[in-house]
Amino acid sequence: MENLLRQILKRTTARTVFRTTLNGLGLFCACTFIWEHLVTVQLSEGPSMYPTFNPRGDYLLISRVHRCGRGIAVGDVVRFYHPTFLGVHGAKRVIGMPGDFVCRDLAFSVD
């Protein structure tokens, strides 16, 4: 292993180091772009979406393409910043869109 490392270091030129650094920087930029603008992975915790998500935590693949409500349909699960607790995310299922009439039963209703 040590001999292999010495051979690699002997053959390394400034051009090779520059090319490797440039490729690494390009890969880092591509991964950052994908993570910030296309998809990300977040941990879901809490009983809010039980039984769809485990209260102890499930990893969610979050699409960042549908921002500001664009492209969302009934039945989708949306992830949002919680308005009361700063830095906390919430997740809810969409049950209606603007203009829809939504009827729901009250808790402990027998009708």
- Comparing CA positions, the residue from 32, 39, 95 lying closest to residue 64 is 39
Assess whether 10 carries a catalytic annotation: no
Round to whole Å and give the CA distance between 95 and 110.
22
Q: Which of 10, 44, 48, 109 is catalytic?
A: 48
Cα 4 to chain center, whole Å?
40
User: Considering 10, 44, 63, 92, which one is annotated as catalytic?
Assistant: 92
Alpha carbon 93 to chain centroid, angstroms? 17
Please report, for residues 28, 70, 102, the alpha-carbon distance to residue 33 in angstroms, rounded to integers and kept in the order given.
9, 20, 38
Catalytically active residues are 48, 92
